[in-house]
Structure 1
Amino acid sequence: MTKTKGSIEAEISKAITQWEKDFLGRGSVSVKADILRNMIIVCLNGILTPAEYRVCETLDGMLSVKRTRTGLVESGVDTLKQIILDIASVEVTSFYTDISSVTGERVMVFKLSENLEKKLSEK
């Protein structure tokens, strides 16, 4: 059976939620993955703990939380890339991430080796 764009997006959302729980020890409140041209954009809500919000009240604290959280995710990037390859059958060429200390939202962008959106629309 051929996977649809929506089913791949849902599968990625579920897999990243599980990765967060297994690798980081806790998951986000919600995860939404979207395929756009040669990218998969993942928005994760509810990332920060109440203590991290408190620390983010100062510039030094916010930078520290962002640096620590980014470092944790970057240390698991090979597994994240493999998750995308296993689900979407496309290689990840680069990975970008950032977190908002105001909203507690993380955005992940997986840049792909080919235009997955176009590939899926041709099936």
Structure 2
Amino acid sequence: MLKSQGEIEAAVCDAVSRFQQEFMGRGPRNVHAHLVDNRLFVHLEGVLTAAEQRLVEGHAGGDGNGRGAELLKQLRSHLFGAGRPMLESLVSEAAGSALVTVHHDISPMNGEEVLVITLAAAPPCRDRKRR
């Protein structure tokens, strides 16, 4: 049976949360996914570990060497690259379509992360029920 768009989005949220928790070591506080044709837009909040928050706070408060946010972005970029096969597998299974591209960015100052994922094809969805 086909999934609804909302069910696919919820499955993608679960997959991304699982990746964050198992690979990055901490799950997000909130995660939202939106499916538009063959693209997924995923927004995560509260992704920084306590150590990462301290690193960034040292940068913002002037106590550190001023490179905390830059170092965090570099670290997360490398980790994301290393874990990409796992993420692709989880999201592909959840969405029912292979991934073509994944774009990623993180805001060290507020702990938000975004993913823009292009799928090989728009996942087949059940039609919305009309009221």
Unaligned 5+ segments in structure 2 are: 61-65
Partner of 1:20: 20
Deviation at 1:84, TM superposition (A): 2.0
What letter matches 2:73 in structure 1?
K
Q: Residues 92-123 of structure 1: CA distance to partner in whole angstroms, max 9, x if unpaired?
A: 1111100001211000111111234xx43669
1:83 aligned partner, one-letter code: L
Written as runs of structure 1 = structure 2, the 5 A alignment for 1:3-42 is: 3-42=3-42
Q: What amino acid is the match of 2:102? A: F
Unaligned runs of 5+ in 1: none
Aligned partners of 2:45, 2:10: CA distance in 1, in Å?
Answer: 16
The correspondence for 1:75, drawn from 71, 77, 82, is 82
2:106 and 2:113 in contact (8 A); partners too: yes
In structure 2, give the amino acid aligned to 1:22: E
Q: Which moved more, 1:16-25 or 1:61-70?
A: 16-25
Question: Does 2:105 correspond to 1:98?
Answer: yes
Determine whether 1:120 maps to 2:128.
Answer: no
Q: Is the 8 A contact 2:97 2:122 kept in 1?
A: no
SS at match of 1:75: helix
Q: What root-mean-square deviation, in Å, do the aligned CA atoms of Structure 1 and Structure 2 show? A: 1.9
Check if 1:110 corresponds to 2:117.
yes
The number of residue pairs the alignment matches comes to 121
After TM superposition, where is structure 1 displaced by more than 3 Å over at least 4 residues in a row?
none
**Contact (CA 8 Å) 2:2, 2:125: kept in 1 or not?**
no
Find the residue that maps to 1:95 and give its secondary structure: strand
Q: Secondary structure at the match of 1:31?
A: strand
Partners of 2:126 and 2:32 lie apart in 1 by: 20
TM-score of the aligned structures, taking structure 1 as reference length: 0.86
